[in-house]
Structure 1
Amino acid sequence: MKRGDYLYIWQAPDWPDWHYDLAALAEPLARVSRAQGVLLGRLADVDERLRGEASLGALTDDVVKTSEIEGEQLNAASVRSSIARRLGVDIGALMPVDRHVEGVVDMTIDATANCNAPVTEDRLFAWHAALFPTGYSGLTKITVAAWRDDAHGPMQVVSGPIGRSRVHYEAPPAERLRDEMARFLDWMLTPPADSREPALIRAALGHLWFVTLHPFDDGNGRIARAIGDLLLARADGSPQRFYSLSAQIQRERKAYYAILESTQKGSLDVTAWLLWFLNALGAAVNQANRMVDAVLGKTRFWQRLSGVVLNERQIKVLNRLLDGFEGNMTAAKWAAMTKCSPDTALRDIRELQDLGLLKRSDAGGRSTSYALVMARAEADRTD
């Protein structure tokens, strides 16, 4: 068949013989590799506690954002607490366990912390079961820990209202899945030293290949991104994650779906997909460098305040502000967060204002909010 004789790449006669223009990819490959080297070099110079905090931030982003891409909102504080418990990072009081959050966290951490373990059918089934512990996706019962059977029709990616929906992609029929997945898993088992693809290219291909097969009733995007993260961890030579590609994909969600659709309806020359993936990866690593700046800034903040006596409530809220608290911090939010009275919250806030650590907004009354003053903590305390 010629290109005009088929619609999707898995229908091509030479499927899945991926090919690409390595010369066109040389510059972005080198750029991303340099950025990764800078990031890992910076983190090599800090202690294990700080590396743990940086990894906690990246993994939290990964879990929250990979679900957001699929339109699912997870509680970020619950995710952070779940990951901190597994990494042994002290973040103070832990949130109650959420079974669904725990499942996504289990998959994400297994993919990276155990990146060198073989990716097998049973391992993928375990990830899928962790994502859907009740056997339901929303209100729909799905087949869990098994390949889809297409009992209700072909697996399609669609958008739009019923009756006017648009089919963006149709996956290979279920009858082909056992052979297709066996071929994919054989490729995944190839040792890096024996692979003909550069490690970062391999991560992009693994992501694309899995999401093209779409072997499960649901959760294919999240598992595809976990496979990509696993291969990136192998490429980094480290099970610790310090950047989140899923967070960058969420920031470019429309472009992500567009490049997937055009690639899956194109030829087996996947150079365009690889360029997009590498550019997104580079942006994710640059974002991670900014996160490292924040972690180091937080450390310097507390080092400068080593001689200042603060109560547990003040320490808790300052840490939340340092971690990037969303919205405005008000006395009411302070009271709710620390489970204290409004009068106690105002007293805590005024003490921090007197220390020059918080500044008050111009608004008055109930609209009054308070922001962190990093400059005060950066000044040497010689008094």
Structure 2
Amino acid sequence: MNSGESEGLYIWENPGWPRLRYDLAVLAAPLAAVHAAQGYLLGRMADLGLSQRDATTLRVLTEDVVKTSEIEGERLNPEKVRSSIARRLGLDIGALAPADRHVDGVVDMVLDATGAHAQPLTRERLFGWHAALFPTGYSGLAPIRTGAWRDDATGPMQVVSGPIGRRTVHFEAPPAPRLEAEMARFLEWFELATEGDRLVHAGLAHLWFVTLHPFDDGNGRIARAVGDMALARADRSGQRFYSLSAQIQRERKDYYEMLERTQKGSLDVTPWLAWFLGCLLRAVEGAEASLSAVLLKTHAWQRWAELPLNERQIKLLNRLLDGFEGKLTSSKWAAIAKCSPDTALRDIADLVARGVLKKSASGGRSTSYELVTQG
């Protein structure tokens, strides 16, 4: 810690704020790992056709919108989110769920941040995102200032937990009179900073914005959108094939603990960036695992394209490709396909003869079957 930095201060109270610093030597290995994983993922995406890439983007964006809200304790209907995204991207997904103004607002923000990532981030754009998140001007039952910086009319902006009367203050943001200058400085840096790795830029942007906490509500969601915008710029693509918000939601406890520790610390934010890059790596690796399953299914159906399969066989093969739990026996086949045991045996025997299924090597009282993965 620099001699000019004091214990007990919030990070923004340190002399020298907002000159955040970090040890690039410590971050070199995690940065290399994330870049390698991203390159591998993007290379594998090239194996997908246009419709499959669109489907992957739709799935990832749906997860991103649902999970960025879930982190804040708000649960959105995934089907409404999926339909809202499909409408805006012009994708045909069949029947659409009814429009929901609140869902549409979150979707609009996420799509604008990533799809229009090359456009400048301005105060007016942030105000538009905020107004979209709170179309009624209320957060729950409480009226809030929308499309404007907070004014602290009801007291300082604090992040708290616990019941009324026994609340713990985890963080207090800079006072409202400082916001105009603070946000102007942040936005100038976001657009003009060209030094260093773009992934580090994304991690710094996320931390810096959520530390300023410039709105009455929605700061976490907008901070993650700002981070996603920086990642889209780093990827040079508005198509999202991984969801950092979904990974943050899975690591929500660690996320909040790391934020609190960083916001009560010095201007050296190396530990935050190391955690951020680790979380990003796990998000990309999770997307790779999902993509492996998609490619396995795609390649399997390419091999089976000319086979005269009935509806029962197609249904059960899809179940196997989607990760069927347990062993597949003729009795399970009959139960799932709602057919007689004899019909199930004929279906299975036909697939064995065609080289689609084989008997499992594992023993047991009943014969079980598994997919032939090559051929």
Q: Specify whether residues 242 and 320 from structure 1 end up closer, same or farther in structure 2 by C-alpha distance, changes over 3 A only.
A: farther
The residue type paired with residue 375 of structure 1 is L
Q: Does 1:130 align with 2:132?
A: yes
Tell me the distance in 2 between the aligned counterparts of 1:379 and 1:19: 51
The residue aligned with 1:333 is: none
The residue aligned with 2:231 is: 232
Q: Deviations over 1:319-347 (max 9, x none)?
A: 8997799xxxxxxxxxxxxxxxxxxx957
The residue aligned with 2:64 is: 62
Q: Are the counterparts in 2 of residues 204 and 274 from structure 1 also a CA contact under 8 Å?
A: yes
- 3-state SS of the aligned residue for 1:51? helix
Q: Does 1:77 align with 2:85?
A: no
Q: Does 1:289 align with 2:288?
A: yes
- The structural deviation recorded for 1:36 is 0.5
Q: Does 1:116 align with 2:118?
A: yes
Q: Are the counterparts in 1 of residues 148 and 215 from structure 2 also a CA contact under 8 Å?
A: yes
The residue aligned with 1:367 is: none
- The structural deviation recorded for 1:140 is 1.2
Q: Are the counterparts in 2 of residues 207 and 228 from structure 1 also a CA contact under 8 Å?
A: yes
The residue type paired with residue 278 of structure 2 is N
| Higher alpha-carbon deviation: 157-166 or 76-85 | 76-85
The residue aligned with 2:354 is: none
| Higher alpha-carbon deviation: 91-100 or 220-229 | 91-100
Q: Specify whether residues 83 and 324 from structure 1 end up closer, same or farther in structure 2 by C-alpha distance, changes over 3 A only.
A: farther
Q: Are the counterparts in 1 of residues 113 and 228 from structure 2 also a CA contact under 8 Å?
A: yes
The residue type paired with residue 247 of structure 1 is A
How many residues are matched? 344
Once the two structures are superposed, the pairs formed by residues 201-280 of structure 1 within 5 Å of their partners are: 201-280=200-279
Once the two structures are superposed, the pairs formed by residues 44-59 of structure 1 within 5 Å of their partners are: 44-59=46-61
- The structural deviation recorded for 1:253 is 0.4
Q: Specify whether residues 221 and 98 from structure 1 end up closer, same or farther in structure 2 by C-alpha distance, changes over 3 A only.
A: same
Q: Are the counterparts in 1 of residues 7 and 265 from structure 2 also a CA contact under 8 Å?
A: no
Tell me the distance in 1 between the aligned counterparts of 2:10 and 2:263: 6
Q: Are the counterparts in 2 of residues 157 and 168 from structure 1 also a CA contact under 8 Å?
A: yes
Q: Specify whether residues 126 and 316 from structure 1 end up closer, same or farther in structure 2 by C-alpha distance, changes over 3 A only.
A: farther
Q: Deviations over 1:230-289 (max 9, x none)?
A: 000111111111001111111110100000001000000000000000000000000010
The residue type paired with residue 280 of structure 1 is C
Once the two structures are superposed, the pairs formed by residues 3-22 of structure 1 within 5 Å of their partners are: 3-4=5-6, 7-22=9-24
- Provide the aligned C-alpha RMSD in A: 3.1
Tell me the distance in 2 between the aligned counterparts of 1:319 and 1:95: 25
The residue aligned with 2:95 is: 93
Q: Specify whether residues 5 and 39 from structure 1 end up closer, same or farther in structure 2 by C-alpha distance, changes over 3 A only.
A: closer
Q: Specify whether residues 231 and 121 from structure 1 end up closer, same or farther in structure 2 by C-alpha distance, changes over 3 A only.
A: same
- 3-state SS of the aligned residue for 1:157? strand
Tell me the distance in 2 between the aligned counterparts of 1:100 and 1:176: 30
The residue type paired with residue 172 of structure 2 is E
Tell me the distance in 2 between the aligned counterparts of 1:115 and 1:352: 52
Q: Are the counterparts in 1 of residues 160 and 170 from structure 2 also a CA contact under 8 Å?
A: yes
Once the two structures are superposed, the pairs formed by residues 169-180 of structure 1 within 5 Å of their partners are: 169-180=171-182
Tell me the distance in 2 between the aligned counterparts of 1:133 and 1:352: 54
Tell me the distance in 1 between the aligned counterparts of 2:343 and 2:187: 59
Q: Which structure 2 segments of 5+ residues have no match?
A: 325-336, 352-368
Tell me the distance in 1 between the aligned counterparts of 2:316 and 2:88: 23
- The structural deviation recorded for 1:103 is 1.0
TM norm structure 2: 0.83
Q: Specify whether residues 77 and 323 from structure 1 end up closer, same or farther in structure 2 by C-alpha distance, changes over 3 A only.
A: farther
- 3-state SS of the aligned residue for 2:282? helix
Q: Are the counterparts in 1 of residues 320 and 371 from structure 2 also a CA contact under 8 Å?
A: no
Tell me the distance in 1 between the aligned counterparts of 2:202 and 2:297: 33
The residue aligned with 2:365 is: none
- 3-state SS of the aligned residue for 1:158? strand
Q: Which has the larger radius of gyration?
A: 2
Tell me the distance in 2 between the aligned counterparts of 1:216 and 1:115: 21
- 3-state SS of the aligned residue for 2:171? strand
Q: Are the counterparts in 1 of residues 64 and 246 from structure 2 also a CA contact under 8 Å?
A: yes
Q: Are the counterparts in 2 of residues 301 and 374 from structure 1 also a CA contact under 8 Å?
A: no
Tell me the distance in 1 between the aligned counterparts of 2:344 and 2:106: 38
Q: Are the counterparts in 1 of residues 72 and 220 from structure 2 also a CA contact under 8 Å?
A: yes
- The structural deviation recorded for 1:90 is 3.2
Q: Percent identity?
A: 63
| Higher alpha-carbon deviation: 59-68 or 269-278 | 59-68
The residue type paired with residue 28 of structure 2 is A
The residue aligned with 1:148 is: 150
The residue aligned with 1:200 is: 199
Q: Specify whether residues 175 and 289 from structure 1 end up closer, same or farther in structure 2 by C-alpha distance, changes over 3 A only.
A: same
The residue type paired with residue 157 of structure 1 is V
The residue aligned with 2:108 is: 106
The residue type paired with residue 297 of structure 1 is L
The residue type paired with residue 21 of structure 1 is D
Q: Specify whether residues 318 and 186 from structure 1 end up closer, same or farther in structure 2 by C-alpha distance, changes over 3 A only.
A: farther
